[in-house]
Amino acid sequence: MPKIRVRSLSKVFGNNPTPALKLRDKGLKRPEILEKTGMTLGLSKIEFDVNEGELLVIMGLSGSGKSTLIRCLNRLIEPTEGSVEINGQDIVKLDNKGLLRFRRETFGMVFQHFALFPHRTVLENTEYGLEIQGVDKGSRAKKGLEALQLVGLEEWADAYPDQLSGGMQQRVGLSRALAADPDILLMDEAFSALDPLIRRDMQQELLDLQTRMKKTVIFITHDLDEALNLGDRIILLKDGEIVQEGSPEEILTHPANRYVERFIEGVDMTRILTANAAMTPARAIGYLNDGPRTVLHRMRENGMDRMLITTRERKLCGLVEADVLNEAVKRGDRRIQDLLITDLHKVSEDEPLNNLFPLFDERSYPIAVVDEQDRLKGVVVRGSLLAELAQAATVESGQKDNKQAQPEGEHIV
């Protein structure tokens, strides 16, 4: 069972939502509905699941409904229709008392502008959730300090929020959300108000916390880089509807439509795309126990002047050049073991592309992509790397249909 299960969730802002929903069902979009009824369709038929321990990023530009969506999950905004099941319990149906209990025990929330209470010390802020649950002073101070330790701010317990920098304030915000040990963290543009360097640190810290504490996290952002960095899964929202849902890689490589394409404009593709995207399977390889003549023959057949050599289990051994083989055949050598060039660059499939550039040296040998057991998965040649980037660039400029020519094969492997 998923931890969170959202079904046909809609929100209409305005006092009479029924006609707006009827128009929506007839297929009208947000602007027409606003014009006809004066009501804003904030969210329309949102459906998604979040699994335990997953970090789901909900991404969209301002006005896309992402803040409304996260507030519907704990009913800071009342949904107009639909259900939000948490551990199988529909919280839309809860009465006031049950809702308060859910907010206290199940949710921790972090806000864009921190929303720390200025009249309370850092520790008192952290304790807030426990305090309103009626936890006694001693144990809430203990738990509050533990939460502050998680974010490395225990020494600032007695300071007031306005004595802290923005990054530190948001750490307090995070520890306040964590203090009552909730299952679910709701993070509303939590790092958007921080400067880029601090932001990176905070993202890393959140990921570290996440691996340790295994919270279910819903993270709202308008920043694709942040979404790609954090998300196990990303949901893209536009005009209150889900445009695409998928892993970061899926969204980047297969944008569902123009909106998503426009969104991924400006993303530094070299950082996001990995060796896997630029990799081609090796067209032909030689085996270690083949003789030089066999390998040379296979090279001629494929029009190649170099060939990768592996074991029968596809374990990478090295590379031979055609002229070296020729010499060996003339000499009558029968083993290719001694002819191998072994100082090849090897990378794993998830190596970011920008790390591959420096590996191409003047010999222009291919870069071998291998798995954990050193088995050959494919190769990256300079041409295919550049081609992949060129294609990414065309996606960025919104001309994806005008597809780039296939990589200029260097006919080496």
Partner 1 sequence: MSFLDNKIPLGHWVESGLDFLTEEYSSVTRTISDVTENAIFGLNDLLFDIRPELLIVVFALLAWKVGYWRKGLFAGNWRLGVFTAVGFALIYNLGLWDSMLESFTLVLFATVVAVALAVPLGILAALYEGMYRIIMPVLDFMQTMPAFVYLIPAIPFFGIGPVAAIFATVIFSMPPAIRFTTLGIRQVPTQLIEAADAFGSTKAQKLLKLQLPMAVPTMMAGINQTIMLALSMVVIAAMIGADGLGGDVWKAIQRLQPGKGFEAGLAVVILAMVLDRMTQKLGQAKRQSK
Among 16, 100, 315, 326, binds partner 1 (CB under 8 A): 100
CB 125, min distance to partner 1, A: 10
CB nearer to partner 1: pick between 48 and 102: 102
CB nearer to partner 1: pick between 107 and 191: 107
Distances in Å between the alpha carbon of 303 and those of 204, 307, 378? 48, 11, 18
Largest CA distance in the chain: 92
Q: Are strands 40-50 and 4-13 parallel, antiparallel or unpaired?
A: antiparallel
CB nearer to partner 1: pick between 134 and 138: 134
Percent of residues in the chain assigned helix, strand, coil, to nearest 5: 40, 20, 35
Asked if 109 interacts with partner 1 (CB under 8 A), we say yes
Among 103, 143, 199, 377, binds partner 1 (CB under 8 A): 103
Distances in Å between the alpha carbon of 95 and those of 91, 92, 100, 102, 176? 9, 9, 9, 11, 25
CB 188, min distance to partner 1, A: 9
**404 DSSP 8-state letter:** P
CB 185, min distance to partner 1, A: 11
Residue 104, H or E segment: helix 96-105
Strands (E), 173-292: 184-188, 216-221, 233-238, 241-246, 286-287
Q: Cα separation of 81 and 8, whole Å?
A: 7
CB 197, min distance to partner 1, A: 25
Asked if 119 interacts with partner 1 (CB under 8 A), we say yes
Taking residues 19 to 58 in sequence order and writing x for each that binds partner 1 by CB under 8 A, - otherwise, the string is ----------------------------------------
DSSP of 240-271: TEEEEEE-HHHHHHS-SSHHHHHHTTT--HHH
Task: Give which of 201, 181, 182 is closest to 190, Cα–Cα.
Answer: 201
CB 109, min distance to partner 1, A: 4
How many residues bind to partner 1 according to rule CB under 8 A? 27
CB 22, min distance to partner 1, A: 31
Taking residues 141 to 180 in sequence order and writing x for each that binds partner 1 by CB under 8 A, - otherwise, the string is -------------------x-x-------------x---x
User: Where does this chain bind partner 1 (CB under 8 A)?
Assistant: 74, 76, 99-104, 107, 109, 111, 113, 115-119, 128-129, 131-133, 160, 162, 176, 180, 186
